[in-house]
Structure 1
Amino acid sequence: MESTSLLKNDERIDQLYSQDVQIIQSPRCFAFSLDAVLLADFVRPNHRHKLRTVDLCAGNGAIGLFLHKKLGGTFIEVELQPRIADMARRSVELNQLADRYQVLNMDIADVFTAIPKDSVDVVLCNPPYFPVTAQSRKNPNHYLAIARHEIATNLETVAEQMSGLLKMNGHGYLVHRPDRLTEILKMMEEHRLIPKRLRFIHPKPGRDANMLLLEVIKDGKPGGLKVVPPLTVSGADGQYLPAVRELLYGQL
Protein backbone atom coordinates (compact mmCIF):
# COMPACT_ATOMS: atom_id res chain seq x y z
CA MET A 1 0.00 0.00 0.00
CA GLU A 2 1.37 3.43 -0.89
CA SER A 3 2.12 5.63 2.09
CA THR A 4 -0.07 8.44 0.79
CA SER A 5 -3.12 6.15 0.86
CA LEU A 6 -2.69 5.84 4.65
CA LEU A 7 -3.04 9.60 5.16
CA LYS A 8 -6.15 11.62 5.99
CA ASN A 9 -6.75 15.23 4.96
CA ASP A 10 -4.68 17.21 7.47
CA GLU A 11 -1.91 14.64 7.95
CA ARG A 12 1.70 14.37 6.86
CA ILE A 13 4.49 11.80 7.23
CA ASP A 14 7.55 12.80 9.24
CA GLN A 15 10.68 10.71 9.43
CA LEU A 16 13.12 10.04 12.26
CA TYR A 17 16.08 9.40 10.00
CA SER A 18 18.33 8.01 12.75
CA GLN A 19 15.95 5.05 13.25
CA ASP A 20 14.52 4.90 9.71
CA VAL A 21 11.00 5.29 11.10
CA GLN A 22 8.10 7.17 9.52
CA ILE A 23 5.34 8.62 11.71
CA ILE A 24 1.94 9.91 10.60
CA GLN A 25 1.43 13.34 12.16
CA SER A 26 -1.25 15.98 12.25
CA PRO A 27 -0.40 19.46 13.52
CA ARG A 28 -4.11 19.93 14.28
CA CYS A 29 -4.31 17.12 16.82
CA PHE A 30 -0.91 15.67 17.67
CA ALA A 31 2.73 15.61 16.57
CA PHE A 32 5.62 13.97 18.38
CA SER A 33 8.35 16.28 19.59
CA LEU A 34 11.91 16.03 20.87
CA ASP A 35 10.81 14.57 24.23
CA ALA A 36 9.73 11.38 22.44
CA VAL A 37 13.11 11.05 20.71
CA LEU A 38 14.99 11.69 23.96
CA LEU A 39 12.96 9.15 25.95
CA ALA A 40 13.52 6.47 23.30
CA ASP A 41 17.26 7.20 23.40
CA PHE A 42 17.28 6.91 27.22
CA VAL A 43 15.86 3.36 27.19
CA ARG A 44 18.44 0.61 27.72
CA PRO A 45 18.77 -1.83 24.79
CA ASN A 46 17.27 -5.29 25.29
CA HIS A 47 16.98 -7.65 22.34
CA ARG A 48 15.28 -10.54 24.12
CA HIS A 49 12.90 -12.24 21.72
CA LYS A 50 10.12 -12.57 24.32
CA LEU A 51 10.39 -9.03 25.72
CA ARG A 52 7.02 -7.34 26.32
CA THR A 53 6.88 -3.53 26.17
CA VAL A 54 3.90 -1.25 26.84
CA ASP A 55 3.78 2.46 25.94
CA LEU A 56 1.22 4.33 28.06
CA CYS A 57 -0.18 7.67 26.77
CA ALA A 58 1.31 6.55 23.47
CA GLY A 59 0.01 9.35 21.25
CA ASN A 60 0.69 8.49 17.62
CA GLY A 61 2.99 5.64 18.63
CA ALA A 62 6.24 7.48 18.04
CA ILE A 63 8.23 6.39 21.13
CA GLY A 64 7.42 2.71 20.72
CA LEU A 65 8.18 2.76 17.00
CA PHE A 66 11.50 4.54 17.58
CA LEU A 67 12.49 1.50 19.70
CA HIS A 68 11.77 -1.20 17.13
CA LYS A 69 15.50 -1.94 16.66
CA LYS A 70 16.60 -1.32 20.26
CA LEU A 71 14.07 -3.61 21.98
CA GLY A 72 13.12 -7.12 20.95
CA GLY A 73 9.76 -8.80 21.33
CA THR A 74 6.34 -7.15 21.12
CA PHE A 75 4.91 -3.70 21.85
CA ILE A 76 1.47 -2.53 22.96
CA GLU A 77 0.67 1.15 22.44
CA VAL A 78 -2.12 2.46 24.71
CA GLU A 79 -3.78 5.71 23.60
CA LEU A 80 -7.03 7.26 24.84
CA GLN A 81 -8.01 9.50 21.92
CA PRO A 82 -9.54 7.53 19.00
CA ARG A 83 -8.24 9.78 16.22
CA ILE A 84 -4.67 9.65 17.57
CA ALA A 85 -4.81 5.89 18.24
CA ASP A 86 -5.89 5.47 14.60
CA MET A 87 -2.83 7.45 13.49
CA ALA A 88 -0.67 5.12 15.60
CA ARG A 89 -2.21 2.05 13.95
CA ARG A 90 -1.52 3.46 10.50
CA SER A 91 2.05 4.38 11.50
CA VAL A 92 2.60 0.76 12.54
CA GLU A 93 1.30 -0.33 9.14
CA LEU A 94 3.40 2.28 7.36
CA ASN A 95 6.56 0.87 8.96
CA GLN A 96 5.50 -2.74 8.26
CA LEU A 97 5.66 -3.64 11.95
CA ALA A 98 2.14 -5.03 12.48
CA ASP A 99 3.60 -8.42 13.46
CA ARG A 100 5.18 -6.84 16.57
CA TYR A 101 2.94 -3.89 17.46
CA GLN A 102 -0.63 -3.62 18.74
CA VAL A 103 -2.50 -0.36 19.42
CA LEU A 104 -5.18 -0.25 22.13
CA ASN A 105 -7.57 2.71 22.06
CA MET A 106 -8.39 2.92 25.75
CA ASP A 107 -7.93 4.83 28.99
CA ILE A 108 -4.77 3.74 30.79
CA ALA A 109 -6.92 3.45 33.94
CA ASP A 110 -8.57 0.42 32.27
CA VAL A 111 -5.39 -1.17 30.96
CA PHE A 112 -5.62 -4.29 33.15
CA THR A 113 -8.77 -5.33 31.28
CA ALA A 114 -6.53 -5.88 28.24
CA ILE A 115 -3.05 -6.59 29.65
CA PRO A 116 -2.51 -8.88 32.67
CA LYS A 117 -0.87 -7.43 35.77
CA ASP A 118 2.78 -8.28 36.43
CA SER A 119 3.29 -9.41 32.82
CA VAL A 120 5.37 -6.65 31.19
CA ASP A 121 9.15 -6.17 31.04
CA VAL A 122 9.33 -2.50 29.98
CA VAL A 123 6.80 0.32 30.41
CA LEU A 124 7.28 3.71 28.73
CA CYS A 125 5.31 6.88 29.35
CA ASN A 126 5.33 10.43 28.03
CA PRO A 127 2.39 11.65 30.14
CA PRO A 128 0.64 15.02 30.30
CA TYR A 129 3.04 17.32 32.15
CA PHE A 130 0.79 19.97 33.64
CA PRO A 131 -1.62 19.59 36.58
CA VAL A 132 -5.05 21.14 36.17
CA THR A 133 -5.64 24.03 38.54
CA ALA A 134 -7.97 27.02 38.63
CA GLN A 135 -5.12 29.03 37.11
CA SER A 136 -4.35 26.55 34.31
CA ARG A 137 -4.30 27.99 30.82
CA LYS A 138 -5.35 24.93 28.86
CA ASN A 139 -4.87 24.73 25.12
CA PRO A 140 -8.16 25.48 23.32
CA ASN A 141 -7.39 22.55 21.00
CA HIS A 142 -9.03 19.56 22.73
CA TYR A 143 -6.47 17.03 21.41
CA LEU A 144 -3.52 19.09 22.61
CA ALA A 145 -5.14 19.95 25.95
CA ILE A 146 -5.52 16.24 26.80
CA ALA A 147 -1.95 15.51 25.67
CA ARG A 148 -0.44 18.32 27.77
CA HIS A 149 -2.68 18.70 30.85
CA GLU A 150 -3.77 16.14 33.43
CA ILE A 151 -7.38 16.17 32.22
CA ALA A 152 -7.80 12.48 31.38
CA THR A 153 -5.03 11.03 33.56
CA ASN A 154 -2.48 12.16 36.14
CA LEU A 155 0.89 11.27 37.61
CA GLU A 156 -0.55 8.99 40.30
CA THR A 157 -2.49 6.95 37.73
CA VAL A 158 0.62 6.68 35.55
CA ALA A 159 2.69 5.39 38.50
CA GLU A 160 -0.04 2.98 39.59
CA GLN A 161 -0.54 1.50 36.11
CA MET A 162 3.19 1.34 35.36
CA SER A 163 3.78 -0.55 38.60
CA GLY A 164 0.81 -2.84 38.06
CA LEU A 165 1.93 -3.83 34.57
CA LEU A 166 5.59 -4.44 35.35
CA LYS A 167 7.02 -7.75 36.45
CA MET A 168 9.30 -7.69 39.48
CA ASN A 169 12.56 -6.02 38.38
CA GLY A 170 10.87 -4.70 35.23
CA HIS A 171 12.00 -1.30 33.98
CA GLY A 172 9.86 1.83 33.66
CA TYR A 173 10.83 4.98 31.74
CA LEU A 174 9.27 8.43 32.08
CA VAL A 175 9.84 11.86 30.55
CA HIS A 176 8.53 14.79 32.59
CA ARG A 177 9.17 18.28 33.95
CA PRO A 178 11.91 19.06 36.51
CA ASP A 179 9.59 21.29 38.56
CA ARG A 180 7.65 18.14 39.51
CA LEU A 181 10.69 16.00 40.38
CA THR A 182 10.01 15.81 44.13
CA GLU A 183 6.43 14.71 43.48
CA ILE A 184 7.53 12.23 40.79
CA LEU A 185 10.11 10.51 43.02
CA LYS A 186 7.68 10.29 45.94
CA MET A 187 4.89 8.92 43.74
CA MET A 188 7.14 6.33 42.13
CA GLU A 189 8.43 4.99 45.44
CA GLU A 190 4.90 4.83 46.85
CA HIS A 191 4.09 2.48 43.96
CA ARG A 192 7.15 0.21 44.40
CA LEU A 193 9.03 1.88 41.54
CA ILE A 194 12.58 2.60 42.70
CA PRO A 195 14.30 5.46 40.82
CA LYS A 196 17.63 4.29 39.39
CA ARG A 197 18.73 6.73 36.68
CA LEU A 198 17.96 10.41 36.08
CA ARG A 199 18.98 12.76 33.29
CA PHE A 200 18.25 16.45 32.98
CA ILE A 201 17.72 18.10 29.59
CA HIS A 202 18.63 21.77 29.11
CA PRO A 203 17.30 23.81 26.15
CA LYS A 204 20.47 25.93 25.77
CA PRO A 205 23.80 26.50 27.56
CA GLY A 206 23.31 28.33 30.85
CA ARG A 207 19.54 27.68 30.93
CA ASP A 208 17.71 25.71 33.62
CA ALA A 209 16.65 22.17 32.76
CA ASN A 210 13.18 22.01 31.21
CA MET A 211 12.84 18.24 30.92
CA LEU A 212 13.90 15.11 32.81
CA LEU A 213 14.25 11.46 31.90
CA LEU A 214 13.78 8.87 34.66
CA GLU A 215 14.34 5.11 34.80
CA VAL A 216 12.74 3.10 37.61
CA ILE A 217 12.85 -0.58 38.57
CA LYS A 218 9.84 -2.29 40.13
CA ASP A 219 10.73 -3.63 43.59
CA GLY A 220 14.35 -2.65 42.94
CA LYS A 221 16.88 -2.38 45.75
CA PRO A 222 16.37 0.97 47.55
CA GLY A 223 18.87 3.73 46.87
CA GLY A 224 21.51 3.85 44.18
CA LEU A 225 20.01 6.62 42.04
CA LYS A 226 22.49 7.75 39.37
CA VAL A 227 22.22 11.27 37.97
CA VAL A 228 23.89 10.84 34.59
CA PRO A 229 25.46 13.69 32.60
CA PRO A 230 22.93 16.27 31.36
CA LEU A 231 22.13 16.91 27.71
CA THR A 232 21.95 20.39 26.20
CA VAL A 233 19.70 20.54 23.15
CA SER A 234 20.77 23.70 21.30
CA GLY A 235 23.66 26.13 21.17
CA ALA A 236 23.27 29.82 21.92
CA ASP A 237 22.41 30.27 18.21
CA GLY A 238 19.38 27.98 18.57
CA GLN A 239 20.86 25.26 16.33
CA TYR A 240 20.76 21.66 17.55
CA LEU A 241 24.05 20.54 19.09
CA PRO A 242 25.80 17.51 17.52
CA ALA A 243 24.51 14.92 20.03
CA VAL A 244 20.90 15.92 19.36
CA ARG A 245 21.41 16.16 15.61
CA GLU A 246 22.68 12.58 15.69
CA LEU A 247 19.57 11.42 17.58
CA LEU A 248 17.39 13.00 14.90
CA TYR A 249 19.34 12.38 11.70
CA GLY A 250 21.87 9.66 12.52
CA GLN A 251 25.60 10.10 12.04
CA LEU A 252 26.17 12.89 9.51
Structure 2
Amino acid sequence: MNQSFSFKMAQIMKLDAKPSLAPDADETLDVFLDGRLKIVQPRNGYRFSIDAVLLAEFVTVRPKDTLIDLGTGCGIIPLLLLIKNSIQQAMGLEIQPALARLAGRNAVLNGFEEKMQVIIGDLKQPPFGPGSADWVVCNPPYRRKESGRINPDPQKAIARHEIRTSLNDILATGSRLLRTKGRMAMVYPAIRLADILARMRAYRLEPKRLQLVYPDLKTGAELVLIEAVLNGRSGLQILPPLLGQGDFSIGT
Protein backbone atom coordinates (compact mmCIF):
# COMPACT_ATOMS: atom_id res chain seq x y z
CA MET A 1 0.00 0.00 0.00
CA ASN A 2 1.25 3.44 -0.96
CA GLN A 3 0.48 5.29 2.26
CA SER A 4 2.68 7.33 4.58
CA PHE A 5 3.16 6.67 8.26
CA SER A 6 0.72 8.18 10.73
CA PHE A 7 2.60 9.92 13.55
CA LYS A 8 1.69 11.23 16.97
CA MET A 9 3.92 14.26 16.54
CA ALA A 10 4.15 15.17 20.23
CA GLN A 11 5.97 11.93 20.98
CA ILE A 12 8.62 12.19 18.27
CA MET A 13 12.19 13.12 19.17
CA LYS A 14 13.98 14.29 16.03
CA LEU A 15 17.55 13.30 15.29
CA ASP A 16 20.21 15.74 14.12
CA ALA A 17 19.51 16.92 10.58
CA LYS A 18 23.18 16.67 9.58
CA PRO A 19 24.75 13.99 11.78
CA SER A 20 28.47 13.29 11.79
CA LEU A 21 29.12 10.42 9.39
CA ALA A 22 32.75 9.63 10.21
CA PRO A 23 33.24 7.03 12.96
CA ASP A 24 34.52 8.26 16.32
CA ALA A 25 37.42 6.60 18.11
CA ASP A 26 35.02 4.29 19.97
CA GLU A 27 33.20 3.28 16.76
CA THR A 28 33.90 1.19 13.67
CA LEU A 29 32.89 1.68 10.05
CA ASP A 30 32.06 -1.70 8.50
CA VAL A 31 31.46 -2.18 4.77
CA PHE A 32 29.32 -4.95 3.24
CA LEU A 33 27.69 -5.91 -0.05
CA ASP A 34 30.67 -4.82 -2.16
CA GLY A 35 30.53 -1.36 -0.67
CA ARG A 36 26.78 -0.83 -1.07
CA LEU A 37 26.19 -0.99 2.69
CA LYS A 38 28.19 0.98 5.25
CA ILE A 39 27.47 0.63 8.95
CA VAL A 40 28.87 2.66 11.85
CA GLN A 41 28.71 0.66 15.08
CA PRO A 42 30.04 0.89 18.64
CA ARG A 43 33.48 -0.65 18.86
CA ASN A 44 32.74 -2.31 22.21
CA GLY A 45 28.99 -1.79 22.74
CA TYR A 46 26.04 -3.52 21.10
CA ARG A 47 26.74 -4.59 17.52
CA PHE A 48 24.34 -6.25 15.12
CA SER A 49 24.52 -10.03 14.75
CA ILE A 50 23.72 -12.62 12.12
CA ASP A 51 20.21 -12.86 13.56
CA ALA A 52 19.26 -9.45 12.14
CA VAL A 53 20.67 -10.34 8.73
CA LEU A 54 18.74 -13.61 8.63
CA LEU A 55 15.53 -11.77 9.50
CA ALA A 56 16.09 -9.24 6.71
CA GLU A 57 16.60 -12.11 4.24
CA PHE A 58 13.50 -13.91 5.52
CA VAL A 59 10.87 -11.21 5.12
CA THR A 60 8.97 -11.02 1.82
CA VAL A 61 8.54 -7.27 1.48
CA ARG A 62 7.43 -5.62 -1.76
CA PRO A 63 8.72 -2.34 -3.23
CA LYS A 64 5.56 -0.38 -2.29
CA ASP A 65 5.51 -1.60 1.32
CA THR A 66 6.08 0.55 4.39
CA LEU A 67 7.88 -1.01 7.35
CA ILE A 68 8.50 -0.33 11.03
CA ASP A 69 11.47 -1.94 12.80
CA LEU A 70 10.94 -2.17 16.56
CA GLY A 71 14.27 -1.84 18.37
CA THR A 72 16.23 -0.96 15.24
CA GLY A 73 19.67 -0.72 16.90
CA CYS A 74 22.09 0.63 14.28
CA GLY A 75 19.40 0.33 11.60
CA ILE A 76 20.75 -2.79 9.91
CA ILE A 77 17.38 -4.43 9.07
CA PRO A 78 15.69 -1.47 7.33
CA LEU A 79 18.94 -0.62 5.55
CA LEU A 80 19.25 -4.13 4.13
CA LEU A 81 15.63 -4.06 2.99
CA LEU A 82 16.03 -0.65 1.38
CA ILE A 83 19.09 -1.85 -0.53
CA LYS A 84 17.85 -5.28 -1.58
CA ASN A 85 14.09 -4.74 -1.89
CA SER A 86 13.74 -0.99 -2.52
CA ILE A 87 10.83 -0.68 -0.09
CA GLN A 88 8.93 2.58 -0.18
CA GLN A 89 9.59 3.78 3.36
CA ALA A 90 11.14 2.44 6.56
CA MET A 91 10.95 3.63 10.14
CA GLY A 92 13.27 2.52 12.92
CA LEU A 93 12.13 2.88 16.54
CA GLU A 94 14.87 2.66 19.16
CA ILE A 95 14.69 3.32 22.92
CA GLN A 96 18.44 3.84 23.37
CA PRO A 97 19.36 7.35 22.15
CA ALA A 98 22.97 6.50 21.29
CA LEU A 99 21.92 3.60 19.06
CA ALA A 100 19.11 5.63 17.50
CA ARG A 101 21.56 8.36 16.54
CA LEU A 102 23.82 5.74 15.00
CA ALA A 103 20.91 4.42 12.94
CA GLY A 104 20.15 7.95 11.78
CA ARG A 105 23.76 8.46 10.75
CA ASN A 106 23.74 5.13 8.92
CA ALA A 107 20.62 6.13 6.98
CA VAL A 108 22.38 9.29 5.78
CA LEU A 109 25.66 7.45 5.17
CA ASN A 110 23.87 5.06 2.80
CA GLY A 111 21.83 7.76 1.05
CA PHE A 112 18.45 6.81 2.54
CA GLU A 113 17.66 9.94 4.55
CA GLU A 114 14.52 10.47 2.42
CA LYS A 115 13.27 6.87 2.76
CA MET A 116 14.34 5.95 6.30
CA GLN A 117 13.57 7.81 9.51
CA VAL A 118 14.69 6.92 13.01
CA ILE A 119 12.74 7.81 16.13
CA ILE A 120 13.95 7.66 19.72
CA GLY A 121 11.09 6.14 21.68
CA ASP A 122 9.59 3.27 23.66
CA LEU A 123 7.79 0.60 21.64
CA LYS A 124 5.24 0.31 24.45
CA GLN A 125 4.13 3.85 23.52
CA PRO A 126 4.93 4.03 19.81
CA PRO A 127 4.71 7.43 18.08
CA PHE A 128 2.67 5.94 15.22
CA GLY A 129 -1.06 5.65 14.77
CA PRO A 130 -2.88 2.30 14.45
CA GLY A 131 -2.62 0.67 11.04
CA SER A 132 0.50 2.63 10.07
CA ALA A 133 2.51 -0.05 8.26
CA ASP A 134 2.39 -3.03 5.94
CA TRP A 135 5.21 -4.70 7.87
CA VAL A 136 6.50 -4.71 11.43
CA VAL A 137 9.79 -6.50 12.09
CA CYS A 138 11.69 -7.08 15.31
CA ASN A 139 14.91 -8.73 16.44
CA PRO A 140 13.95 -8.65 20.13
CA PRO A 141 15.72 -9.32 23.42
CA TYR A 142 15.83 -13.11 23.74
CA ARG A 143 16.19 -13.59 27.47
CA ARG A 144 13.69 -13.02 30.23
CA LYS A 145 14.80 -10.42 32.74
CA GLU A 146 15.37 -13.03 35.45
CA SER A 147 17.18 -15.46 33.12
CA GLY A 148 20.97 -15.73 33.25
CA ARG A 149 23.64 -13.11 33.82
CA ILE A 150 22.82 -9.60 32.67
CA ASN A 151 25.66 -7.93 30.78
CA PRO A 152 27.26 -5.06 32.75
CA ASP A 153 27.20 -2.94 29.58
CA PRO A 154 23.73 -1.25 29.69
CA GLN A 155 23.53 -1.09 25.89
CA LYS A 156 24.08 -4.82 25.53
CA ALA A 157 21.89 -5.65 28.52
CA ILE A 158 18.83 -3.84 27.12
CA ALA A 159 19.33 -5.45 23.71
CA ARG A 160 19.66 -8.99 25.09
CA HIS A 161 17.38 -9.15 28.15
CA GLU A 162 13.72 -8.16 28.52
CA ILE A 163 14.61 -5.20 30.72
CA ARG A 164 12.70 -2.44 28.92
CA THR A 165 10.22 -4.57 26.99
CA SER A 166 8.77 -8.08 26.73
CA LEU A 167 7.49 -10.44 24.06
CA ASN A 168 3.92 -9.46 24.95
CA ASP A 169 4.76 -5.76 24.57
CA ILE A 170 6.31 -6.36 21.15
CA LEU A 171 3.41 -8.42 19.82
CA ALA A 172 0.79 -6.04 21.20
CA THR A 173 2.48 -3.10 19.50
CA GLY A 174 3.02 -5.00 16.27
CA SER A 175 -0.64 -5.97 16.12
CA ARG A 176 -1.70 -2.37 16.71
CA LEU A 177 0.62 -0.84 14.10
CA LEU A 178 -0.21 -3.22 11.25
CA ARG A 179 -2.83 -2.59 8.63
CA THR A 180 -5.41 -5.35 8.10
CA LYS A 181 -3.59 -8.34 6.61
CA GLY A 182 -0.29 -6.66 7.38
CA ARG A 183 2.63 -8.90 8.33
CA MET A 184 4.94 -9.16 11.31
CA ALA A 185 8.25 -11.02 11.23
CA MET A 186 10.61 -11.88 14.07
CA VAL A 187 13.69 -13.94 14.85
CA TYR A 188 13.60 -15.75 18.18
CA PRO A 189 15.34 -18.57 20.09
CA ALA A 190 14.04 -21.94 18.90
CA ILE A 191 13.71 -23.04 22.53
CA ARG A 192 10.94 -20.42 22.94
CA LEU A 193 9.03 -21.39 19.79
CA ALA A 194 5.96 -22.55 21.72
CA ASP A 195 5.84 -19.21 23.55
CA ILE A 196 5.88 -17.08 20.44
CA LEU A 197 3.35 -19.20 18.52
CA ALA A 198 0.84 -19.08 21.38
CA ARG A 199 1.30 -15.39 22.06
CA MET A 200 1.09 -14.37 18.41
CA ARG A 201 -2.40 -15.83 18.20
CA ALA A 202 -3.37 -14.05 21.41
CA TYR A 203 -2.67 -10.78 19.60
CA ARG A 204 -4.52 -11.76 16.39
CA LEU A 205 -1.27 -12.52 14.58
CA GLU A 206 -1.68 -15.79 12.68
CA PRO A 207 1.65 -17.60 12.05
CA LYS A 208 2.04 -18.22 8.31
CA ARG A 209 5.74 -18.97 7.59
CA LEU A 210 8.35 -20.57 9.84
CA GLN A 211 11.99 -21.49 9.29
CA LEU A 212 14.37 -23.10 11.78
CA VAL A 213 18.07 -22.20 11.81
CA TYR A 214 20.64 -24.89 12.66
CA PRO A 215 24.38 -24.37 13.27
CA ASP A 216 25.12 -27.75 11.67
CA LEU A 217 23.60 -31.16 10.98
CA LYS A 218 24.55 -32.52 14.41
CA THR A 219 23.09 -29.72 16.53
CA GLY A 220 19.50 -28.82 17.30
CA ALA A 221 17.89 -25.66 15.99
CA GLU A 222 19.06 -22.47 17.68
CA LEU A 223 16.82 -19.85 16.06
CA VAL A 224 13.41 -19.62 14.46
CA LEU A 225 12.31 -17.11 11.84
CA ILE A 226 8.57 -16.56 11.90
CA GLU A 227 6.10 -14.45 9.91
CA ALA A 228 2.50 -13.81 10.94
CA VAL A 229 -0.45 -12.06 9.31
CA LEU A 230 -2.80 -9.78 11.24
CA ASN A 231 -6.24 -11.44 11.30
CA GLY A 232 -4.99 -14.07 8.87
CA ARG A 233 -6.48 -17.50 8.25
CA SER A 234 -4.86 -20.59 9.76
CA GLY A 235 -2.28 -22.45 7.71
CA LEU A 236 1.42 -22.54 8.54
CA GLN A 237 4.16 -23.13 5.94
CA ILE A 238 7.31 -24.79 7.32
CA LEU A 239 10.24 -23.79 5.12
CA PRO A 240 13.39 -25.90 4.57
CA PRO A 241 15.90 -25.45 7.40
CA LEU A 242 18.82 -23.07 7.25
CA LEU A 243 22.12 -24.81 8.01
CA GLY A 244 25.57 -23.61 8.96
CA GLN A 245 24.50 -20.05 9.67
CA GLY A 246 27.20 -19.65 12.29
CA ASP A 247 29.60 -18.91 9.42
CA PHE A 248 27.15 -16.74 7.48
CA SER A 249 28.43 -13.53 5.96
CA ILE A 250 26.53 -10.68 4.36
CA GLY A 251 28.92 -11.21 1.46
CA THR A 252 27.72 -9.83 -1.84
**TM-score normalised by length of structure 2:** 0.88
1:150/1:64 CA distance change after superposition, 3 Å = same
Query: What is aligned with 1:109?
Result: 124
Q: Distance in 2 between matches of 1:119 and 1:74?
A: 11
Q: Secondary structure at the match of 1:75?
A: strand
Q: Distance in 2 between matches of 1:233 and 1:36?
A: 16
Task: Tell me if structure 2 keeps the 8 A contact 1:47–1:73.
Answer: yes
What is the count of residue pairs matched by the alignment?
A: 233
Query: What is aligned with 2:53?
Result: 37
Q: Distance in 2 between matches of 1:45 and 1:71?
A: 9
Q: Distance in 2 between matches of 1:65 and 1:42?
A: 14
Task: Tell me if structure 1 keeps the 8 A contact 2:213–2:221.
Answer: yes
In structure 2, what residue type is equivalent to 1:121? Answer: D
In structure 2, what residue type is equivalent to 1:8? Answer: D
Q: Distance in 1 between matches of 2:34 and 2:61?
A: 16
Q: Secondary structure at the match of 2:85?
A: coil
Q: Which string of whole-angstrom CA distances, capped at 9 and with x for unpartnered residues, describes residues 178-224 of structure 1?
A: 11111101110000000000001111221111111000000001x21
Between 5-14 and 52-61, report the one with greater CA deviation: 5-14
- Residue 6 in structure 1 maps to residue 19 in structure 2: no
Query: What is aligned with 1:75?
Result: 90
Query: What is aligned with 2:145?
Result: 132
Query: What is aligned with 1:56?
Result: 70
Task: Tell me if structure 2 keeps the 8 A contact 1:29–1:84.
Answer: no
Alpha-carbon deviation of 1:94? 0.5
> Between the two proteins, what is the percent identity of the paired residues?
35
Q: Which string of whole-angstrom CA distances, capped at 9 and with x for unpartnered residues, describes residues 90-142 of structure 1?
A: 0011001000010001111110xx21101210111000000011x53111111
In structure 1, what residue type is equivalent to 2:27? Answer: E
Q: Secondary structure at the match of 1:208?
A: coil
| 1:1-252 correspondence to structure 2 within 5 Å | 5-17=21-33, 20-48=36-64, 51-68=65-82, 69-111=84-126, 114-133=127-146, 136-221=148-233, 223-233=234-244, 240=247, 244-245=248-249, 248-250=250-252
Q: Secondary structure at the match of 2:56?
A: helix
Q: Distance in 1 between matches of 2:240 and 2:149?
A: 33
In structure 1, what residue type is equivalent to 2:124? Answer: A
Alpha-carbon deviation of 1:17? 1.3
Structure 2: where are the runs of 5+ without partners? 1-18
**TM-score normalised by length of structure 1:** 0.88
Q: Secondary structure at the match of 1:28?
A: coil
In structure 2, what residue type is equivalent to 1:16? Answer: F
Note the aligned Cα RMSD (angstroms): 1.7
Task: Tell me if structure 2 keeps the 8 A contact 1:193–1:216.
Answer: yes
Q: Secondary structure at the match of 1:205?
A: coil
Q: Distance in 1 between matches of 2:58 and 2:182?
A: 15
Structure 1: where are the runs of 5+ without partners? none
In structure 2, what residue type is equivalent to 1:199? Answer: Q
